[in-house]
Amino acid sequence: MSEVSIAKRKEKCENCTKQCNKKQGEGASPHRERDEATGERQEGSQLLLSACLSCDGCLSEDETLKISQQNLEEVKRVLALNKKCDVSKHKVLVASVCPQSLPFFAVRFGVDITEAAQKLCGFLKSLGVQYVFDTTLAAGFSILESQKEFIQRYRRRNHDSHALPMFTSSCPGWIRYSEHVLGSLVTPHICTARSPQQIMGCLVKDYFSKQQKLSLEKVYHMVVAPCFDKKFEAVREEFYSTLLESRDVDCVLTSGEIYYLMEQRKVSVDELDSVTLDQVLGESGDVALVRHDGRGSEGFLEHIFKHAAKELFGVDVHEITYKTLRNRDFQEVTLERDGETLLQFAAVYGFRNIQTLVHRMRKGRVPYQLVEVLSCPGGCLSGRGQAESETGGQVDKALVQQMEEAYSSLPVRLPELNPALNTLYQDWLQGQDSSQANKLLHTHYKSQSQMHTQPAHMQW
Residues 447 and 179: beta-carbon distance below 8 Å = yes
| pLDDT reported for residue 27 | 40
Q: Are strands 219-225 and 166-167 parallel, antiparallel or unpaired?
A: unpaired
The residues that bridge with 183 in the sheet, in sequence order, are: none
Q: How far apart are CA 29 and CA 8, in angstroms?
A: 17
| pLDDT reported for residue 63 | 64
| pLDDT reported for residue 364 | 86
Give the amino acid at 76.
K
Residue 259 neighbours by CB under 8 Å, 6+ apart: 37, 104, 105, 108
Residues 109 and 264: beta-carbon distance below 8 Å = no
Q: Are strands 92-97 and 219-225 parallel, antiparallel or unpaired?
A: parallel
Q: Which long-range contacts (CB under 8 A, 24 or more apart) does 18-26 make?
A: 18/460, 19/457, 19/458, 19/459, 19/460, 20/47, 20/52, 23/57, 23/457, 25/1
Q: Which of 148, 233, 206, 94 is CA-nearest to residue 432? A: 148
Specify the length of the chain in residues: 460
Residues 231 and 238: beta-carbon distance below 8 Å = no
| pLDDT reported for residue 176 | 86
Q: How far apart are CA 316 and CA 113, in angstroms?
A: 31
> Considering all CA atoms of the chain, what is the largest pairwise distance in Å, rounded to the nearest integer?
73
Ranges in the chain, pLDDT < 50: 1-57, 449-460
Residues 289 and 135: beta-carbon distance below 8 Å = no
What 3 state SS string does the chain have? Answer: CCHHHHHHHHHHCCCCCHHHHHHHHCCCCCCEEECCCCCCEEECCCCCHHHHHCCHHHCCHHHHHHHHCCCHHHHHHHHHHHCCCCHHHCCEEEEEECCCCHHHHHHHHCCCHHHHHHHHHHHHHHHCCCEEEECHHHHHHHHHHHHHHHHHHHHCCCCCCCCCCEECCCCHHHHHHHHHHHHHHCHHHECCECCHHHHHHHHHHHHHHHHCCCCHHHEEEEEEECCCHHHHHHCCHHHEECCCCEECCCEEEEHHHHHHHHHHCCCCHHHCCCCCCCCCCHHHCCCCCCECCCCCCCCHHHHHHHHHHHHHHCCCCCCCCCEEEEECCEEEEEEEECCEEEEEEEEEECHHHHHHHHHHHHCCCCCCCEEEEECCCCCHHHCCCCCECCCCCCECHHHHHHHHHHHHCCCECCHHHCHHHHHHHHHCCCCCCCHHHHHHHECCCCCHHHCCCCCCCCCC
**How far out from the chain centre does Cα 41 lie?**
20
| pLDDT reported for residue 300 | 93
Say yes or no: do domains 61-138+195-287 and 141-194+292-416 share a fold: no
| pLDDT reported for residue 382 | 87
Peptide bond into 165 cis (omega under 30): yes
Which superfamily does 141-194+292-416 belong to?
Fe-only Hydrogenase (Larger Subunit); Chain L, domain 3 (3.40.950.10)
| pLDDT reported for residue 232 | 85
Residue burial 130-157, b: 16+ Cβ < 10 Å; e: rest: bbbbbbbbbbbbbbbbbbbbbeebbeee
Q: What is the pLDDT of residues 278-323, one digit of tens each?
A: 999 876 555 678 888 777 677 899 999 999 999 999 999 988 889 9
Q: Where are the domains of the chain?
A: 61-138+195-287, 141-194+292-416
| pLDDT reported for residue 459 | 28
| pLDDT reported for residue 85 | 67
Please report the sign of the dihedral spanned by the C-alpha atoms of residue 75, residue 79, residue 84, residue 87.
positive
| pLDDT reported for residue 412 | 86
Mean confidence (pLDDT) of the chain: 82
Q: How far apart are CA 146 and CA 304, in angstroms?
A: 7
Fold of 61-138+195-287: Rossmann fold (3.40.50)
Q: What is the pLDDT of residues 63-105, one digit of tens each?
A: 666 676 778 888 888 888 888 867 777 899 999 999 999 999 9
| pLDDT reported for residue 146 | 96
